[in-house]
Structure 1
Amino acid sequence: MSSKSLFNQLKLAYAPLTAYEFAVVKDDILIERSLCDASLYLLAQRPVITFENVIPDKSLYQLNFEIHQRGNPNIIKCTLPFDQEVFELNDASAVYVAFNFLNKSTEQEHPPLYNIHGFSLARHNPDRKEFIIWFSPEKLLQNWWTGSINCTIEGDWKSLTRYTVHYVGKATKQSILKRLKGHSTLQDILSLESPVTDKQLPANEIVVLPFKFQDNLQMQTFGLESDTDSMVAALKGENYPNQDTVFLDAEKALIKAMQPKYNKELFKNYPVSKDGLYDHKYNAIAYTFMDPITLIYTEGEIRGGLTAMGGDSIFILENQEFKMSKY
């Protein structure tokens, strides 16, 4: 008896960006390049996250700081060493740190520094200054858990990666950055959603989470009734759906699972669809989030990245049954 299954692993293509950060970087070529494989995004909300108690340590050539979230009692203690391969320093380089304060009306001249929503590093060589990298709290955490940077993190950092989902969207015909520049739903959310904490702008709480596929794993078995052409096509990978089709199906699956309040079409009849995977007649389809984040919706939550194989999954079985599988 033949069978065909498709297991899709969703991974953040870039760290979560607040609406404020998005407005700053929306024309950045490097970020555009990072998002070239991302066609699915969530608009979500969480309390403001900041760097606090920031103290540069010149003797150890590192930055010591904490990460706080409004209303969250957990304090994350961090140490970021400057002398690491990814920053490409040499013996003649000095590191400069520029801070972006959440409240620009209050001047801070001496450490420890507080209420910082981001900081940038630049290497200063004898003849020029070069930008290295910019970090928000979430970008630092995401770069750390993916192994992109070396950083010491102590505390319940996963309590900071919980997001209430307002909208699920796709951008298969243009980049996510271009899609969101004139996005009416993003503007609606910014206008209509109340801040989670008092005296905060929604632009610092509403976040864009862009996703790409870490992998699409197709497993196929063949029975006595299978023809040679089908088996050869499978071995050559010719019967795989294209990425846009899988993204379109993933959007429908996530909307069906979470029923976000700003999505007008809730795909009640999914997995039946004209532009998804329905006509590919898979016996099983799965969507799993690979990052250690939690997506919160009215009826529950989806926890990702609990192991190297991911966390909770959305399953579609025999093109009919739709179910959530908790890890």
Structure 2
Amino acid sequence: MGRKTQINFLHTIFPPFTNRNVELLVSKANQHIAQHLRQSKFYMIAARAQASFVNQRIDLENATISLDVQVGTEVVDTGVIHVSKFNELQENCTIKITEEAVLLGGTKKGTHAKVWLTPDSVYWHVARHSPYLEGFTRHDRVCNYDLLYVGIAKQQDSYQRLIKNAHHGRLRVLSEEHSRKPGAHPSDEITLFLFDIEPFGIQTMSAEDDDYDFFREAPPDKVVADAEKAFVSLLDPHYNVTKFRNYPKGNDGLYGAGLNGYGYIINENFRFNTATALFKGFRSEAGFDNRQDSIYVEGDEVNLILSNEIESIFSYK
């Protein structure tokens, strides 16, 4: 008997950024970034103790910047930025370093920077094998967040719903969350993630399937709607009011869409914690990796499959 399975990989289309940086992303100078962010319809809001760059060391002779990364009050990692390996930068470019960001190639005040790196974004770039970064290996310590809210943009996109407009979930998080680092502001700890979802279809056939339809991917709007329900129902983020207790059943998701099984994997080096679960992602160029947790649905049964059990997704009797 043939089977149709669709695994949906979630990956961010832009590095994670704190709520403090929302103002920058809505400015006229960054409209090119806004256009890019409009590709997303699925987003998450999370928080972690404020991360900072500390102990900055600039080596002018070798054109490098060495930095330690501090989360809360603890230094957890170290790395090097090779300034000369940025093709878009000219020699003797302006360098501005703060605890929040490294700005390269902008004005003396740090505006209109050509390169903008934060404690969150360096790990995003390292996961994509950026040649100008060395070290920054402890993503498990830095990219470890408390998941607060999961949402989708049905009629709009993630940029319009979450960033440009006064999103109710983001405002509630800002007003109710307490800082995790003494003296920090929640706006520097609340982090936004804008995802795209890439489907991967798997079809198996047997000799009895003489007239078996070839695999067709589920409509993107159904995948997005189903993904929201899957993560909310299993991870139970605190600020999601609707919990989708009947998931996977529903009219606008993948239930009844002709798939024998379907699931979700975060293809990023992120860890999301809630009161009920820890969900670990892992960035893999190949897509599948045994270090990724997953949500998998088969019929009426929903399972959170831990990374060391992920091979069971494809173990059919």
TM-score of the superposed pair, with normalisation by structure 1 = 0.84
Aligned counterpart for 2:218 among listed residues 241, 248, 252: 241
Checking the alignment, whether the CA contact within 8 Å between 2:38 and 2:159 is kept in structure 1 is no
Alpha-carbon distance in structure 2 between the residues aligned to 1:120 and 1:247: 35
Residues 72 and 123 (structure 1), Cα distance of their counterparts in 2 relative to 1, 3 Å cut: closer
Checking the alignment, whether the CA contact within 8 Å between 1:42 and 1:165 is kept in structure 2 is yes
Alpha-carbon distance in structure 1 between the residues aligned to 2:242 and 2:283: 30
Cα offset, 1:158, TM superposition: 2.0
Aligned counterpart for 2:181 among listed residues 193, 197, 208: 197
Counterpart for residue 119 of structure 1: 102
Unaligned runs of 5+ in 1: 102-115
Checking the alignment, whether the CA contact within 8 Å between 2:267 and 2:281 is kept in structure 1 is yes
Return the letter of the residue paired with 1:297: T
Map 1:17-56 → 2, pairs under 5 A: 17-27=17-27, 28-56=30-58
Cα offset, 1:155, TM superposition: 5.6
Alpha-carbon distance in structure 2 between the residues aligned to 1:149 and 1:29: 27
Counterpart for residue 196 of structure 2: 212
Write the deviation string for residues 187-229 of structure 1: whole angstroms up to 9, x where unpaired. 111011111122111100111111112x31111234566564x
Cα offset, 1:65, TM superposition: 1.6
Question: Over aligned residues, Cα RMSD in angstroms?
Answer: 2.2
1:267 aligns with 2:234: no
Helix, strand or coil: the match of 1:165? Answer: strand
Residues 130 and 37 (structure 1), Cα distance of their counterparts in 2 relative to 1, 3 Å cut: closer
Return the letter of the residue paired with 1:53: N
Cα offset, 1:254, TM superposition: 0.4
Write the deviation string for residues 41-94 of structure 1: whole angstroms up to 9, x where unpaired. 1111100011111122111112122111114352x221111111x43346xx32
Alpha-carbon distance in structure 2 between the residues aligned to 1:224 and 1:156: 49
Aligned counterpart for 2:156 among listed residues 155, 161, 174: 174
Counterpart for residue 87 of structure 2: 87
Cα offset, 1:154, TM superposition: 5.1
Counterpart for residue 135 of structure 2: 153
How many residue pairs are counted as aligned between the two chains? Answer: 296
Helix, strand or coil: the match of 2:247? Answer: coil
Cα offset, 1:173, TM superposition: 2.4
Residues 73 and 54 (structure 1), Cα distance of their counterparts in 2 relative to 1, 3 Å cut: closer
Deviates more, 1:201-210 or 1:277-286: 277-286
Cα offset, 1:24, TM superposition: 2.1
Residues 72 and 139 (structure 1), Cα distance of their counterparts in 2 relative to 1, 3 Å cut: same
Return the letter of the residue paired with 2:143: T
1:70 aligns with 2:81: no
Alpha-carbon distance in structure 2 between the residues aligned to 1:155 and 1:2: 42
Counterpart for residue 316 of structure 1: 297
Checking the alignment, whether the CA contact within 8 Å between 2:127 and 2:283 is kept in structure 1 is no
Counterpart for residue 96 of structure 1: 94
Checking the alignment, whether the CA contact within 8 Å between 2:38 and 2:160 is kept in structure 1 is no
Residues 154 and 35 (structure 1), Cα distance of their counterparts in 2 relative to 1, 3 Å cut: closer
Helix, strand or coil: the match of 2:129? Answer: coil
Deviates more, 1:182-191 or 1:28-37: 28-37
Alpha-carbon distance in structure 1 between the residues aligned to 2:186 and 2:222: 33
Return the letter of the residue paired with 1:22: V
TM-score of the superposed pair, with normalisation by structure 2 = 0.86
Cα offset, 1:141, TM superposition: 1.7
Checking the alignment, whether the CA contact within 8 Å between 2:263 and 2:297 is kept in structure 1 is yes
Unaligned runs of 5+ in 2: 308-317
1:295 aligns with 2:276: no
Alpha-carbon distance in structure 1 between the residues aligned to 2:13 and 2:120: 13
Alpha-carbon distance in structure 2 between the residues aligned to 1:324 and 1:223: 29
Alpha-carbon distance in structure 1 between the residues aligned to 2:83 and 2:102: 13
Helix, strand or coil: the match of 1:203? Answer: helix
Checking the alignment, whether the CA contact within 8 Å between 2:103 and 2:116 is kept in structure 1 is yes
Checking the alignment, whether the CA contact within 8 Å between 1:164 and 1:295 is kept in structure 2 is yes
Counterpart for residue 313 of structure 2: none
Alpha-carbon distance in structure 2 between the residues aligned to 1:9 and 1:67: 29
Return the letter of the residue paired with 1:313: S
Residues 21 and 154 (structure 1), Cα distance of their counterparts in 2 relative to 1, 3 Å cut: closer
Identity of aligned residues (%): 22
Whose strand proportion is higher, 1 or 2?
1
